[in-house]
Chain A
Amino acid sequence: MTYKRSLTIEICGSSGDRSLAAGEILIKTLSDIGYHVISFDAYPAEIRGFGKTVAHMRAGREIMLSLSSKVDILVSLNDRYAIEQLKNLNDEGVVIFDNRQRDITYEVLQQDEGQTDKHHLGPGVYTEEEGWKEITSEQVSIAGHLGPGMYLYGVPLYQLSQKTTNESRSRNIVVLGSVAALFNIPKNEFIGNLTAKLGKKDKSVDSVVAAFEEGYNYVRENVVKLDPYSFERLSVDRKGYKLMDGNKAVAQAAIDAGCKLYAGYPITPATKIMEVLFAELPKHGGAVVQTEDEISAIGHVTGAGFAGVRAMTATSGPGFCLMTEFIGYNVMSETPVVIVDSQRGGPATGLPTKTEQSDLNHALFGGNGDTPRIVVAPTSVKECYQWTAEAFYLAEKYQMPVIVLIDLFLSLSVRNVQLDPLPDYKKGSNKLPSQEDMKLYLRQKITDDGVSPRSLPGQENGYQVVSGLEQNEYGTPVYDEYSHTVMTQKRFRKIKTALDHDVPSPERIGQKGRVKLGVISWGSTAGAVADAVDSVLKEGKSVAMLKLIVINPLKEKEIQAFLDDCEKVLVPELNYQGQFANWLSIHFQQKFLRFNKVATRPITHDEIEAEINRLLKE
């Protein structure tokens, strides 16, 4: 790759154009030839009907944890929609479009009133409200809309698609051929991925490969390349790297960490975790239940946790709310459970298909009473894997709920990651009773570290009563001052023990020693901060970041040491109130500068960079 640290590519079409499928093949190919990739597609929230669909990806030589604000290469399968995307295109961006657009007859499938008629219509746009509207070719072609420094390449996508496959729907494949030729992407990997993806479904693989070749050859023969972008093969070994999104990483972690029961209720964007586990977990001796609601889901997980088996549920904000009573119950009854909350815009049903980091308050404080719980927030897909697995270990070891906070961006964004195998000792962390303990078994025994030895149901002499009521060491309900005090202390002592033994120091990135500006970040936004800090460091700026994955308990000493090094401290996050900055303010006497957005999309690295530069100039 030349010219820039990374390139952002968009393939834009209407939902029938299969731009996402093309995006998948492209990102896989770029990953195979040695690039780091990160994708985050946009598709219409509506299930039925036509709408803009954009495959969006960023590729570069170095690891990237966030998206860019600007696009470098825009591939149009539908100019009407792609014209809207031009506002994001870099001043020196590339557009690839169909230069014989006028001849296009779209095949539109209308399914009104149960009918399945095919209508041939001219260029136009379909909306649920207005139906099909014809539009003129000026409106339709992107060619007249480009800025002066942009590069425009035309390929007769429709014609080449018809020629090779007898249908217009292979325009997405033709254009991949053109992209390969324009940006020097090795052809063989491409064709391999194409046949792997379509081979199973599509019998006419040969014609699809022909469509690709046509797109490739057309560019080689007819197009003069003027832009500076290219993706030559890199000589790095990407064996052992897998393309996956955060949901897949969470599901994989559950399997690898020995989860034997998953219970869940469908909710965007967490549903895919359940779907993956439905297919995979039974192969590993586990059970999966789709329950009637989220209360039942966490109930199932609680039962399994009580029975001594690792169990998990995953949800999003509204479902997380329904689970709240059980969070307290698991604290009180000291039952291990893992709850994954993939945050979306809220409150209430909110913005089901948009990302946000606004469930932090609920994760930290949700529920009645003094309810200590461990909250972790992975910042990347790789960490989704590591920290979901860690959550099982922590929940079991400390006999309490562990909440894994991710968000829609992490859930759905695909990256190429190399997963480190889990250490064996993390696979079983129950504190089982010793023979001595069994002489007079006390389920809620007061111990120095707060953790009581746990007998599992069916264990001889291990009879126990657990409940959501306050209890003494035997598990008998008691409501006196002494018992409530020592038991509350015991429950909080476990958090302290976890902090001392199992919470790593937060990672500091950037300049060592004193800095003009420190940035503390969490969750997926930390990815944007890491990318931004990386780039301002290259400009010699005095900046450092502290990445917090464990949100509760906090490594206060280490964080304080970082704060002491910083002239100013910025806390950017994707919520309105600054929930994380507020959380830090409870613990530290520091004025935190905030950068809050409810953008409905991830914060980009350039936004953070701009804010860093603004604060450095102040």
Chain B
Amino acid sequence: MHTLHGRALPVASGAKLARPELTVLALVGDGDGLGIGAGHLPHTIRRNPDITCVLFDNAIYGLTKGQTSPMTPQHQITRSHPMGNPDPKMNPVLLALSYGAGYVARGFAGAPDEMQRLFEEGIRHKGFSFIHIMSPCVTFDKVNYLYDNLRSWVRLLPAGYDSTNLDRAFEIARGVELFTGLIYSKPSLEQGAR
């Protein structure tokens, strides 16, 4: 079901509540999940339904042909900001951690094996899982999320990284380096009875 722009999380939550035996994913964009539909994210995390949200971040409004998105870096020139984007971008991993998500990961479209592993783990995780995928828009972004750029930016998490340590997870999320992999996971928070 392709829902309205920004509204995948509520619809997915409703489907899961109605039919708990279904595996439910909510696939959202960066403009979608962090812009128009951002208000749903903290509350979905709070309610902790057993669904997986994948945020496909291409740092641009792709479908509408290249306007600034909440993930577009400050000063970048876009179709909507010919003089440069005046505002800083958001940090979805930090947001998800701050709101208390029990499974937070980041992947890169250039590393499909890792992505697959994260999706599988995320789906298995009991409770809400959030996966940030950096995914180039080859058509409307000629400067930022290029495959070559991203390949040189991303880092694997340090050896021995403990993904159950929330403080470490926050450090990783706040740092300038773009780590990929499972950043944080903890046993499911208890879901309230409905």
Which residues of A approach B to under 8 Å, CB–CB? Answer: 260-261, 263, 282, 287-289, 291-293, 295-309, 311, 325-326, 329, 333, 457-458, 465-469
Q: Which of B14, B22, B40, B47 contacts A457 (CB 8 A)?
A: B22
Instruction: Tell yes or no: B13 within 8 A of A by CB.
Output: yes
Instruction: Tell yes or no: B83 within 8 A of A by CB.
Output: no
Across the interface, do B4 and A300 meet the contact criterion of CB distance under 8 Å?
Answer: no
Question: Given that A307-B19, A309-B19 are known contacts, is A467 also in contact with B14, CB under 8 Å in the complex?
Answer: no
CA of A468 to CA of B3, assembled, Å: 7
8 A-B pairs, CB-CB below 8 angstroms?
A289-B17, A291-B10, A295-B7, A295-B10, A302-B3, A465-B2, A468-B4, A469-B2
Which residues of B approach A to under 8 Å, CB–CB? Answer: 1-4, 7, 9-19, 21-22, 39-40, 42-43, 47, 193-194
CA of A469 to CA of B2, assembled, Å: 9
Shortest CB distance A19–B (Å)? 37
Question: Given that A333-B1, A466-B1 are known contacts, is A304 also in contact with B194, CB under 8 Å in the complex?
Answer: no
Across the interface, do A311 and B19 meet the contact criterion of CB distance under 8 Å?
Answer: no
CA of A296 to CA of B3, assembled, Å: 12
Shortest CB distance B122–A (Å)? 19
Q: Which residue of B lies closest to A466 (CB)?
A: B1
Across the interface, do B2 and A299 meet the contact criterion of CB distance under 8 Å?
Answer: no
CA of A502 to CA of B78, assembled, Å: 54
Q: Which of A292, A303, A325, A465 contacts B14 (CB 8 A)?
A: A303
Q: Which of A299, A308, A467 contacts B19 (CB 8 A)?
A: A308
Name which of A260, A307, A311 has the most chain B CB atoms within 10 A of its CB: A307
Shortest CB distance B63–A (Å)? 12
Q: Which of A292, A302, A307, A333 contacts B39 (CB 8 A)?
A: A292
Across the interface, do B194 and A289 meet the contact criterion of CB distance under 8 Å?
Answer: yes
CA of A307 to CA of B4, assembled, Å: 16
Question: Given that A261-B14, A306-B11 are known contacts, is A293 also in contact with B39, CB under 8 Å in the complex?
Answer: yes
Q: Which of A260, A288, A291, A292 contacts B18 (CB 8 A)?
A: A260
Name which of B15, B22, B42 has the most chain A CB atoms within 10 A of its CB: B15
Shortest CB distance B8–A (Å)? 8
Across the interface, do A311 and B22 meet the contact criterion of CB distance under 8 Å?
Answer: no
Q: Which residue of A lies closest to B19 (CB)?
A: A307
CA of A299 to CA of B22, assembled, Å: 17
Q: Which of B15, B21, B40, B47 contacts A306 (CB 8 A)?
A: B15
Across the interface, do A329 and B4 meet the contact criterion of CB distance under 8 Å?
Answer: yes
CA of A466 to CA of B7, assembled, Å: 14
Q: Which residue of B lies closest to A298 (CB)?
A: B10
CA of A298 to CA of B14, assembled, Å: 9
Shortest CB distance B124–A (Å)? 19
Contacting residues, chain A, for B3 (C-beta < 8 A): 299, 302, 329, 467-468
CA of A555 to CA of B18, assembled, Å: 35
Question: Given that A282-B193, A288-B194 are known contacts, is A307 also in contact with B18, CB under 8 Å in the complex?
Answer: yes
Shortest CB distance A300–B (Å)? 3
Question: Given that A304-B18, A458-B22 are known contacts, is A299 also in contact with B1, CB under 8 Å in the complex?
Answer: no
Question: Given that A296-B40, A306-B1, A467-B1 are known contacts, is A263 also in contact with B22, CB under 8 Å in the complex?
Answer: no
Contacting residues, chain B, for A307 (C-beta < 8 A): 14-15, 18-19, 22
Q: Which 3 A-B pairs have the closest CB atoms?
A: A299-B10, A303-B14, A300-B14
Shortest CB distance A101–B (Å)? 52
Contacting residues, chain B, for A260 (C-beta < 8 A): 18
CA of A300 to CA of B49, assembled, Å: 12
Q: Which residue of A lies closest to B47 (CB)?
A: A289
Question: Given that A292-B39, A457-B22, A468-B3 are known contacts, is A299 also in contact with B11, CB under 8 Å in the complex?
Answer: yes
CA of A309 to CA of B17, assembled, Å: 10
CA of A287 to CA of B22, assembled, Å: 16
CA of A301 to CA of B7, assembled, Å: 12
Question: Given that A282-B194, A326-B7, A458-B19 are known contacts, is A311 also in contact with B2, CB under 8 Å in the complex?
Answer: no
CA of A303 to CA of B2, assembled, Å: 11
CA of A282 to CA of B17, assembled, Å: 12
Contacting residues, chain A, for B10 (C-beta < 8 A): 263, 291, 295-300, 302-303
CA of A241 to CA of B19, assembled, Å: 36
Shortest CB distance B147–A (Å)? 28
Contacting residues, chain A, for B9 (C-beta < 8 A): 296, 299
Across the interface, do B40 and A292 meet the contact criterion of CB distance under 8 Å?
Answer: yes
Q: Which of B17, B39, B43, B47 contacts A304 (CB 8 A)?
A: B17
CA of A260 to CA of B18, assembled, Å: 7
Shortest CB distance B81–A (Å)? 26
CA of A326 to CA of B1, assembled, Å: 13
Question: Given that A292-B40, A326-B4, A465-B2 are known contacts, is A303 also in contact with B11, CB under 8 Å in the complex?
Answer: yes
CA of A293 to CA of B42, assembled, Å: 12
CA of A450 to CA of B74, assembled, Å: 50
Across the interface, do B17 and A261 meet the contact criterion of CB distance under 8 Å?
Answer: yes
Contacting residues, chain B, for A293 (C-beta < 8 A): 39
Shortest CB distance B6–A (Å)? 8
Across the interface, do B1 and A311 meet the contact criterion of CB distance under 8 Å?
Answer: no
Contacting residues, chain A, for B14 (C-beta < 8 A): 261, 263, 299-307, 311
Across the interface, do A292 and B7 meet the contact criterion of CB distance under 8 Å?
Answer: no
Question: Given that A296-B43, A311-B18 are known contacts, is A468 also in contact with B13, CB under 8 Å in the complex?
Answer: no
Shortest CB distance A73–B (Å)? 46
CA of A299 to CA of B36, assembled, Å: 14
Q: Which residue of A lies closest to B16 (CB)?
A: A303
